[in-house]
Structure 1
Amino acid sequence: MQPTDDLSQVEVRRSRRRARTVTAWREGDKTIVAIPARFTRAQELEWVRRMMTRLAAQERRRRPSDEELAARAADLSTRYLGGRARPTSVAWSSNQGRRWGSCTPSDGTIRLSDRLRGMPRWVVDYVLLHELAHLLHAGHGPDFWAELDAYPRTQRARGFLEGVAYAGDRAGADGPSDVDGVDGDAPSDVDDAIDDDAAAMQATDVAVALEPEDGADEPRDGVVALDGAPVGARTAPKARVRR
């Protein structure tokens, strides 16, 4: 999750067809903010910061805590591994480098990259199961993959992660790229297509609709003139969160 004052990884996309909405979402390491083409530079900066704040808040609500992550791991172990995988510690980590997750069988610890935050739950579950399976099998042999076959979304999750890694590599992002090697082996080819539409890459997004408000004399919080002209007798758009 990016702090709201760090705009170095933000890409602003202007569209003449976009007149009444501002939308923000994540694409790999980048944050995309789509705005109307008529926004001034000042309005662009205002809305980028506003949408970054909303997006970060939404991701915080969606991201489980370390305790919830550990409870999820225990549930997944019971459901798909017969309860045989029993980690001593499961937590988020910011130093996973190009790995989505890691497992240390010698002490039973599992760490998941915080780059997974905001991704669909079934993708996070797959990475958790991948690391749990390493408590039972150190390598990626047939027995290891047989354990993961029990999870019905294994191939779909692998395809999703391949797509994220591919997009990040094309953009030059220094993010995780391993899928066969969720925990650090050589990355596999992009051989599993993401079967969702483009929104699948936008696991977390925020949209704000701009609607007219009559009689506004001065811009207020949530009110901004689309063309940058003074807000007077004409209408001005007001921010309304669309869920």
Structure 2
Amino acid sequence: MSRNAGPEQPRFAPDGTPVVVRRSARRKRTVSAFWEGGTIVVAVPARFTHAQEDEWVQKMLHRLKSKEAAKGPNVRNDVELASRAKLLSERHLGGRAVPSSVRWVSNQNSRWGSATPADRSIRLSDELQGMPEWVVDYVLVHELSHLLVAGHGPRFWEICGAYPEMDQARAFLEGVAYAQSRGLAAD
């Protein structure tokens, strides 16, 4: 892992994933790791030495990667996301939806994804990262469908409905939104 100087400066895991270490004076003994956008954040107590920090970053990267491997594949960067969108378009939409770009964004707080048919771009909220793959796939198919039909009329839902887990994914996202609106969602 390479290390850059300064707080909140990303390091890079062996696979090239950015890693940021956050030191907290309120944190006494616990260490945690989580995804924030396309970056792995490792939160450590402020009192840790650099050697302890390095040791725990390695441990937490291993734990996070092991947990992900147990869950199955998940899309973590824009290249993987674009590749997944292409596969889903071919599989469910006959390859008719061809986006010019597909990327994760951190500035979508009121929606899971958006598409701009004029320039054929798709953006997915990074809050989807860590959700089940079939839910992310649904949001991708939903946005790909907007490249074919702009609104949410019957023709749109007919096209989008080609994704077999659409109803379950919509229910899952409604549950997440409900929990978040009541402060019940975990960080």
Instruction: State the 1:59 CA deviation.
Output: 6.1
* Residue of structure 2 equivalent to 1:141: 153
CA–CA distance in 2 between the matches of 1:63 and 1:148? 20
Tell me the number of residue pairs that the alignment of Structure 1 and Structure 2 aligns: 139
1:113 & 1:6 partners in 2: Cα distance?
26
Please tell me whether Structure 1 or Structure 2 has the larger radius of gyration of its CA atoms: 1
1:65 corresponds to = 77
One-letter code of the match for 1:142? P
Q: Distance between the aligned counterparts of 1:122 and 1:137, measured in 2? A: 22
Aligned residues: percent identity?
53
1:1-243 pair list within 5 angstroms: 5=22, 53-54=60-61, 62-171=74-183
**Gapped runs of 5+ residues in structure 2?**
1-18, 35-46
Distance 1:3 1:99 in 2: 26
Provide structure 1 residue ranges, at least 5 long, that are not aligned to the other structure. 11-21, 27-41, 174-200, 202-243
Between the aligned partners of 1:99 and 1:152, the Cα distance in structure 2 is 22
1:133 is aligned with what amino acid?
Answer: S
Q: Secondary structure at 1:91's aligned position in 2?
A: strand
Partner residue, 1:216: none
Indicate conservation of the 8 Å contact 1:59/1:117, yes or no.
Answer: no
Q: Over aligned residues, Cα RMSD in angstroms?
A: 3.5
Q: What TM-score does the superposition give when structure 1 sets the normalisation length?
A: 0.49
The structure richer in helix per residue is 2
User: CA offset at residue 118 of structure 1?
Assistant: 1.0
1:157 and 1:59 map into 2 onto residues whose CA distance is 20
TM-score of the pair, normalised by structure 2: 0.62
Q: SS at the partner of 2:162?
A: coil
Specify which structure has the bigger relative contact order, considering alpha-carbon pairs within 8 angstroms and separated by 6 or more residues.
1
